[in-house]
Amino acid sequence: MLSDIWRQFTKRIPLLLLLLIPVLFIIGFVLLISWKTGQPVYVLFQDIFIVAQIPLYIGFVSNIGAFVWAFAIAVCAYVGVLLFNEPEQRNAAHFFLYASFLGVFLMLDDFFMFHEIIYPRYFHVDSDIIYIIYAALGIGFIIKFKKIILKSDLTILLLSFGFFALSIFFDELREAVCLNDYWIIAEDGSKLIGIIYWLVYFSLTGKSYLQAKVTKPQTESV
C-alpha cells in the first residue's frame, strides 16, 4: 500500500512542482504590492471581511456573480479539454476554450473592478473604451463560431448578451443622470442575470456535445 502511494507520488512530482509555480507567483506579487504600498503582508492574505471589519453580506450580489462566472469558466474549460483530442470536434473545443478565456477576462474585471478603477486610474483608459473592447470580443466570438452558435440554443445566449448590454446601459445612465442608489439593482441585477444565462447556455451546449461524444461509439458499433 505504502509503496503504491510512494510510486504515485514520485510519478506526479513534475506536475506537483509545476502547480507550485502560479502559487509562488501570486505570493511574490503580493510581497511586491506590500513593499510598494507599505501595506502589511497579512492584510493582503487575510479575508477582506476580517481586514475591513465589515458584515459578511457586504458585496453579496457581486460575490455571487464571481462564483457564477467561475462555474461557467470551469464548465467551458472542462468541455473544451475533453473535446480537444477529437479531430472532428476541434472547432467545438476552441469554442468552449475561447468562452472559458473570455469568462476569465470578464470575471477578473468584475471581481477586481478593472474597468471601474484599475484601467482609468493606473492606465488612463476610459471605461467606455473598455466597453467597446468587450463588445468587440463578444462580436468576434459570435462571428468566429457562428456555425456552432446557430446550431445551439441561441435564445439563452442572446438573452445573456442582452442583459449584459442592459447592465452597461444602466451603468452609463446612472453616471450621466446621477440616479439614486436603487438603480444599482437594475444595473447589477441585469449583470447577474446575464452571467447566470451564460452559465446555463454553456452547460446545456456542453452537455449536448459530451452526450454526442459518449453515444458515438455505441452508434458506430451498431
Rounded to 10°, the helix 154-177/183-221 angle is: 160
Angstrom CA distances, 221 to 88, 215, 216, 217, stand at 18, 10, 9, 6
The confidence score (pLDDT) of residue 216 equals: 67
Per-residue pLDDT of the chain (222 residues; tens, 9 = 90+): 778 888 888 889 999 999 999 999 999 999 999 999 999 998 999 888 888 889 989 989 999 999 999 999 999 999 999 999 888 899 999 999 999 999 999 999 988 888 888 888 888 888 788 888 888 998 999 999 999 999 998 999 999 999 999 998 888 787 666 666 777 888 899 999 999 999 999 999 999 999 987 776 554 444
| This prediction's pTM | 0.84
Q: Return d(Cα 190, Cα 197) in angstroms, integer.
A: 11
CA dist., res. 166 & res. 160, Å (int): 10
Say what the pLDDT of residue 124 is: 85
The domains of the chain are located at 1-53, 59-215
Task: Specify burial of residue 40 (Cβ count, 10 A radius: 0-12, 13-18, 19+).
Answer: exposed
Mind giving me the DSSP string for 72-120?
A: HHHHHHHHHHHHHT-GGGHHHHHHHHHHHHHHHHHHHHHHHTIIIIIHH
3-class DSSP assignment, residue 20: helix
Q: Under the phi-then-psi rule, with left for phi > 0, alpha for psi from -120 to 50, and beta for the rest, what region is 113?
A: left
Residue 212, Cβ density class (10 Å: 0-12 exposed, 13-18 middle, ≥19 buried): middle
The x, y and z cell numbers of residue 1, run together, are 500500500
The Cα-based distances of 58 to 47, 48, 84, 180 in angstroms read 13, 10, 40, 19
Q: What is the pLDDT of residue 217?
A: 57
Residue 200 grid cell: 446555463
> Grid coordinates in use for 122?
493606473
Cell of 145: 463560431
Residue 202 and residue 73 in contact, taking contact as beta carbons nearer than 8 Å? no
- Pick from 54, 154, 171, 49: nearest CA to 115: 171
- What is the pLDDT at residue 60? 92
Q: Which three cell numbers stand for residue 159?
A: 438573452
